[in-house]
């Protein structure tokens, strides 16, 4: 490709709405063009990168025994009703009506469709196991479509779904996929951590995420890990041991009694007023899970991890309750307490989840649904209604201890590029997707699902590989392997050598751009760095001595070598990609 013909417009400025490195660089280097919030055109350079990521994913999925298909992007409501998700999937699901007034949606994920495909085609145990995948655009009406390709509304995903006769089969396929994922990200030139994660809206019990570790602002997830042992988990799922703390208030309170605690709306105010550590207070928080109130109880110096709470409450959507919703709940229960004075007693009939920390408390302080009052010297048996769900809903914090070996946990930021889930029968059961066993009995398939964000992976590669001048693409997913820059296109010898290198590299299967523009060398170098070609060959004055300059973008290393050597080095590097 000649640079003069390449459809790319590099810019001096970043797009004004870009907050993170990859968004800034993809915009400035002309890889993407925004059409609407979270919706982008993938320009030719971008499309080359995406196709490379796709191809690596495709090769490794095929190698792992999965089969590719392509399902429709527009989906009818009926299948989503069968799974029960039409009602509960939030606003991320883009719903629309066709001309016959039928409800449809744009595919945010394809569990429903694949389960219906499978139940029509996989009737006997003899046909199982099967793993089917596709690579396709998805649409999710994300609340904050920011960060460019990292969190788009329209984005490209590889989604795979496995069907087994039993848990043992699923376990085996899960391991198989974990191995394939490791290989995929390695081949993309990305270092990833496989961490335990919660299973969010898709559900199921066991899941892992593949995280690109990054210190840039784009890392949306906190990953807790132990340097001593293998433990690592997303903050949605991380657990830890707590350091020692005062959890018995016997020194402060001789007996249980209700005391006045005027104006103590916050934990700080309350602990200051009573002159006690906050570890002696039981905090009660009201959330709305799947449109219903849920009360979360936790030791007051700790925070609730919302996803853990949502899962413990068995929901798929969670948010903190508004002041109006709390007032309404108080009304319903015959109380009149302001936030800050809420407590579990008298809240029978409302779903309640108590964190493990609550069960260590003795002679503590708790709200009793009366403004400006608290119960001190309380014990659990006095205040907990029946049917409280006991669960770990605590947000892990830096400095807490590894649940496996007790050493302090470290925390880092990560970008989730892929994940694997054990779904079990979550979809096959309600959708009656069954196979017949050797005795003629039917059972629902045991399913797994496995996603990779193709476009997010490309953007994450930039977060992990860049400098202030631009992108440093890993060779395997770069749009082109090398750019040849003749310093002066009027110079006959320079052009002759540049052209001949261009031709031989092309015919050896190397993807090469010749910067034939009549621009100053400085401009060409800037663009080369910004676009992020892994190699640059500069043909300048030293060609008189038979030498060109070869620059490696990743390390910045520059060597003066013969055109023949430059050609061979690049061919060797490209051929060494699997
Ligand atoms: P997240 O927690 O980041 O929203 P998710 O749990 O919703 O991700 P899945 O539904 O499991 O993700 O989708 C599989 C993969 O698709 C993710 O691992 C991620 O790489 C990618 N992905 C998800 N949402 C987006 C998005 N809005 N833009 C780009 N890629 C995405
Ligand atoms: Mg999501």
Please name the residue whose Cα sits nearest to atom 6 of ligand 1. Answer: 200
Task: Identify which of 453, 454, 455, 459 to mutate to test ligand 1's pocket (most ligand atoms within 8 A of the CB).
Answer: 453
Strand pairing partners for 149? none
Distance 378 CA to ligand 1 centre (A): 44
Distance 138 CA to ligand 1 centre (A): 10
pLDDT average, residue stretch 67-73 = 98
Q: Is the Cβ atom of 418 under 6 angstroms away from ligand 1?
A: yes
Neighbours of 251 (CB within 10 A): 10
Strand pairing partners for 413? 222
What is the SS3 string spanning 342-372?
CCCCCCCCCEEEEEHHHHHCECEEEECCCCC
Residue with the two structure tokens 């009201």: 286
Length of the chain: 578
Please name the residue whose Cα sits nearest to atom 29 of ligand 1. Answer: 151
- Model confidence at 386, in pLDDT bands (50, 70, 90)? confident
Summarised one tens digit per residue, pLDDT across range 279-338 is: 999 999 999 998 999 999 999 999 999 999 998 999 888 999 999 999 999 999 999 899
Cα 410 to Cα 17: distance, rounded to the nearest angstrom: 32
Summarised one tens digit per residue, pLDDT across range 238-254 is: 999 998 999 999 999 99
User: Would the pLDDT of 109 be above 50?
Assistant: yes
Q: Is the Cβ atom of 416 under 6 angstroms away from ligand 1?
A: yes
Crossing angle of helices 454-464 and 44-63, in 10° steps, is 110
b (16+ CB within 10 A) / e for 535-563: bbbbbbeebeeebbbbbbbeeeeeeebeb
Q: What is the pLDDT of residue 571?
A: 97
pLDDT average, residue stretch 363-378 = 96
Please name the residue whose Cα sits nearest to atom 25 of ligand 1. Answer: 151
Summarised one tens digit per residue, pLDDT across range 3-36 is: 999 999 888 777 788 889 999 999 999 999 999 9
Distance 453 CA to ligand 1 centre (A): 6
Q: What is the pLDDT of residue 201?
A: 46
Distance 418 CA to ligand 1 centre (A): 7
Summarised one tens digit per residue, pLDDT across range 532-542 is: 999 999 999 99
Q: What is the pLDDT of residue 203?
A: 46
Neighbours of 29 (CB within 10 A): 24
Listed in sequence order, the residues at least 6 apart from 372 whose beta carbon sits closer than 8 Å to its beta carbon are 260, 261, 262, 263, 264, 341
Percentage of residues in the chain having pLDDT higher than 70: 98
Q: What is the pLDDT of residue 198?
A: 64
Cα 196 to Cα 117: distance, rounded to the nearest angstrom: 30
Summarised one tens digit per residue, pLDDT across range 392-425 is: 999 999 889 999 999 999 999 999 999 999 999 9
Listed in sequence order, the residues at least 6 apart from 180 whose beta carbon sits closer than 8 Å to its beta carbon are 60, 61, 63, 64
Task: Identify which of 178, 202, 451 to mutate to test ligand 1's pocket (most ligand atoms within 8 A of the CB).
Answer: 451
Ligand nearest to the CA of 419: 1
* Alpha-carbon Rg for the chain in angstroms: 29
Is there a contact between 280 and 335 (Cβ–Cβ < 8 Å)?
A: no
**Domains, the chain:** 21-239+411-463 (3.30.930.10), 257-390 (3.90.960.10), 480-575 (3.40.50.800)
Distance 143 CA to ligand 2 centre (A): 10
Q: Is the Cβ atom of 140 under 6 angstroms away from ligand 1?
A: yes
DSSP conformation letters of 411-450 = EEEEEEEEEEEEEETTTTTTTT-EEE-TTS-EEE-EEEEE
Neighbours of 14 (CB within 10 A): 15
Cα 493 to Cα 468: distance, rounded to the nearest angstrom: 33
Cα 177 to Cα 554: distance, rounded to the nearest angstrom: 30
pLDDT average, residue stretch 470-491 = 97
pTM for this predicted structure? 0.86
Ligand nearest to the CA of 156: 1
Residue with the two structure tokens 């809206």: 201
């Amino acid at each position: 490709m000649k640079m003069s013909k390449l459809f790319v417009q590099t810019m001096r400025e970043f797009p004004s709405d870009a907050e993170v490195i990859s968004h800034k660089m993809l915009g400035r280097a002309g890889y993407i063009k925004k059409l609407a919030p979270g919706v982008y055109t993938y320009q030719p350079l971008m499309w080359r990168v995406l196709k490379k990521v796709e191809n690596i994913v495709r090769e490794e999925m095929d190698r792992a025994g999965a089969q590719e298909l392509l399902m429709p992007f527009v989906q009818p409501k009926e299948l989503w009703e069968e799974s029960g998700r039409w009602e509960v999937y939030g606003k991320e699901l883009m719903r629309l009506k066709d001309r016959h007034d039928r409800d449809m949606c744009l595919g945010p994920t394809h569990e429903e469709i694949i389960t219906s495909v499978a139940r029509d085609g996989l009737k006997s145990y003899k046909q199982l196991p099967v793993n089917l995948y596709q690579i396709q655009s998805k649409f999710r009406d994300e609340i904050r479509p920011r960060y460019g390709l990292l969190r788009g509304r329209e984005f490209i995903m590889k989604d795979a779904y496995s069907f087994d006769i039993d848990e043992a089969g699923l376990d085996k396929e899960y391991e198989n996929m974990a191995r394939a994922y490791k290989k995929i990200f390695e081949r993309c030139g990305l270092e990833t951590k496989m961490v335990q994660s919660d299973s969010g809206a898709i559900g199921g019990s066991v899941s892992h995420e593949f995280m690109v570790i990054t210190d840039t602002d784009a890392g949306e997830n906190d990953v807790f890990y132990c340097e001593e042992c293998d433990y690592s988990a997303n903050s949605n799922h991380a657990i830890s041991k707590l350091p020692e703390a005062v959890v018995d208030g016997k020194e402060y309170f001789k007996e249980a009694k209700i005391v006045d605690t005027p104006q103590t709306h916050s934990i700080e105010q309350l602990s200051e007023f009573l002159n006690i550590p906050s570890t002696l207070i039981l905090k009660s928080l009201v959330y709305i899970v799947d449109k219903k109130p849920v009360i979360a109880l936790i030791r007051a110096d700790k925070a609730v991890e919302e996803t853990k709470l949502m899962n413990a409450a068995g929901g798929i959507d969670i948010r903190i309750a508004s002041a109006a919703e709390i007032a309404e709940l108080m009304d319903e229960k015959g109380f009149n307490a302001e936030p800050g004075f809420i407590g579990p007693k008298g809240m029978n009939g409302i779903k309640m989840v108590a964190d493990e920390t609550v069960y260590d408390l003795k002679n503590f302080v708790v709200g009793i649904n009366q403004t400006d009052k608290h119960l001190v010297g309380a014990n659990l048996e006095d205040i907990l209604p029946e049917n409280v769900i006991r669960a770990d809903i605590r947000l892990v914090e830096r400095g807490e201890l590894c649940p496996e070996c007790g050493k302090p946990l470290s925390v880092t930021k990560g970008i989730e590029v892929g994940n694997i889930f054990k779904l079990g029968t979550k979809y096959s059961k309600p959708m009656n997707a069954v196979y017949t066993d050797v005795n003629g009995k039917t059972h629902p398939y045991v399913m797994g699902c496995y996603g990779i964000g193709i476009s997010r992976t490309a953007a994450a590669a930039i977060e992990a590989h860049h400098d202030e001048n631009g992108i440093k693409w890993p060779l395997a997913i770069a749009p082109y392997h090398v750019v040849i820059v003749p310093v002066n296109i009027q110079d006959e010898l320079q052009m002759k050598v540049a052209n001949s290198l261009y031709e031989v590299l092309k015919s050896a299967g190397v993807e090469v751009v010749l910067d034939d523009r009549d621009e100053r060398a400085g401009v060409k170098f800037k663009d080369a760095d910004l676009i992020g070609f892994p190699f640059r060959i500069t043909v300048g004055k030293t060609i008189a001595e038979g030498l060109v300059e070869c620059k490696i973008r990743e390390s910045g290393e520059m060597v003066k070598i013969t055109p023949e050597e430059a050609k061979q080095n690049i061919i060797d590097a490209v051929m060494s990609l699997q």
